[in-house]
Amino acid sequence: MEASDVIYTDTLEYYSQVNDARKRRIDPAETLWQDLRTLFERPSRTKEDKPTASFKDTIEGDLTDIVETMMQGKSNKEIADTLLISIRTVGASKNVYKKVPLTALPFIR
**Gap between the Cα atoms of 93 and 67, Å rounded:** 8
- Residue 49 pLDDT > 70, yes or no? no
pLDDT digits (tens, 9 = 90+) for 16-42: 888 888 888 888 888 888 887 777 776
* Residues 61, 93 share a domain: yes
Report yes or no: 40 and 50 within 8 Å, Cβ to Cβ: no
List of long-range contacts for 47-56, beta carbons under 8 Å, 24+ apart? none
What is the DSSP annotation of 22-56? HHTT-HHHHHHHHHHHHHHSPPPPPTTTS-SS-HH
* Residues 65, 26 share a domain: no
Q: What mean pLDDT is predicted for residues 30-55? A: 71
* Residues 62, 99 share a domain: yes
* Residues 59, 18 share a domain: no
How many domains are contained in the chain?
2
> Where does the pLDDT of residue 3 fall: very low under 50, low under 70, confident under 90, or very high at 90 and above?
confident
pLDDT score, position 72:
85
Which residue segment(s) compose the domain that 14 sits in?
3-40
pLDDT score, position 103:
59
Query: What's the pTM?
Result: 0.40
